[in-house]
Copies of this chain bind each other. A is one copy, B any other.
């Protein structure tokens, strides 16, 4: 990474060193918020942002995301976890207590079309997306120049239907080597095998160039043109083994009309795709997205 971005991340980490996040899901019942907030207050932590949602207040599942400031968090983090695990047990919670300091590590997969990659890199450079980007993997060479100009290693791994297993093996090795938390498919255009997907559950974010579930699969703009739609969309979702059926994180649309041919739709689509993907990635990096029953809760 270029030095200025590296410095920017360091500054962020220093500023946020006492900032923590608590992520919880459990069966709903009275007393959960009380238990959590009392735990935080007892540890002298101040709640900065808090979101909760219950699928059904009677017998549903309860979800919560809290950002808090806790003095001396770096030294107290382990103790907090130990303490909290008792509360978690009482309420049968799935939970994570994380320091914002631990910035996530993102790998971007790309093919020939670079608009989504560019948007991510520039939002990243502007400090609007906070993450480490230790590598970009492309199945074509098109992205090398821009990626390397940001000081990021670029790995060219040609991929096709034929060599999928072999390619994914290499990719998984790299992801392991670089200790990657999040994989962003920035118009990568290759289908991943169940093996790959299983290795990174709810950690692979894709952008599909249609308003799902309309136009699942290939050539959505061509099919949108044939149908004569008046809006085209883009959808960012987590990758599952069902093509374009994973939990939707974000969607948006733009207006088109009869004058727009397939080429125009692609052009118009590019601006939505990059915006939608950047939002989804940002929310994921901030731990705002929770997957539940093939849907997302976005706090």
Contact A37 B34 (CB under 8 A): yes
Asked if A227 meets B251 with Cβ closer than 8 Å, knowing A57-B46, A57-B48, A149-B149, the reply is no
Closest approach, in angstroms, between the C-beta of A12 and any C-beta of chain B? 13
Instruction: Indicate with 1 or 0, residue by residue over A272-299, a CB within 8 angstroms of chain B CB atoms.
Output: 0001000000000000000000111110
Asked if A47 is an interface residue, CB under 8 A from chain B, the answer is yes
Chain A, 23-47, CB within 8 A of any chain B CB? 28-31, 33-35, 37-38, 40-42, 44-47
Asked if A247 is an interface residue, CB under 8 A from chain B, the answer is yes
- In angstroms, Cα B143 to Cα A184, docked, is 28
What residues of chain B lie closer than 8 Å to A211, measured between beta carbons? 211, 214, 231, 233
- In angstroms, Cα B47 to Cα A53, docked, is 10
Contact B57 A69 (CB under 8 A): yes
What residues of chain B lie closer than 8 Å to A46, measured between beta carbons? 28-30, 57
Closest approach, in angstroms, between the C-beta of A295 and any C-beta of chain B? 3
- How many A residues touch B, CB cutoff 8 Å? 59
Closest approach, in angstroms, between the C-beta of A105 and any C-beta of chain B? 23
User: Which one, A93-101, A167-175, A186-194, A252-260, is touching chain B?
Assistant: A252-260
What residues of chain B lie closer than 8 Å to A230, measured between beta carbons? 248-251, 298
> Which residue of B44, B50, B115 is within 8 Å of A33 (Cβ)?
B50
Stoichiometry, as copies per complex, reads: 4
> Which residue of B115, B215, B250, B275 is within 8 Å of A271 (Cβ)?
B275
Contact B212 A213 (CB under 8 A): no
Asked if A222 is an interface residue, CB under 8 A from chain B, the answer is no
- In angstroms, Cα B29 to Cα A18, docked, is 16
Interface residues of A (CB under 8 A from B): 28-31, 33-35, 37-38, 40-42, 44-48, 50, 52-54, 57, 69, 115, 118, 122, 126, 128, 149, 211-215, 227-231, 233, 247-253, 257-259, 267, 270-271, 275, 294-298
27 A-B pairs, CB-CB below 8 angstroms? A29-B46, A33-B37, A33-B41, A33-B47, A33-B50, A34-B37, A34-B40, A34-B41, A37-B38, A53-B259, A57-B69, A211-B233, A212-B214, A213-B215, A213-B229, A214-B214, A228-B248, A228-B295, A228-B296, A229-B248, A230-B248, A230-B250, A230-B251, A231-B233, A231-B253, A258-B296, A258-B298
8 extra interchain contacts, Cβ-Cβ under 8 A, other than A34-B37, A53-B258? Answer: A29-B46, A30-B41, A33-B37, A48-B57, A213-B229, A227-B295, A230-B249, A231-B253
Which 10 pairs show the lowest CB-CB distances between chains A and B?
A228-B295, A214-B214, A34-B37, A31-B41, A33-B37, A34-B41, A34-B38, A258-B297, A230-B251, A30-B46
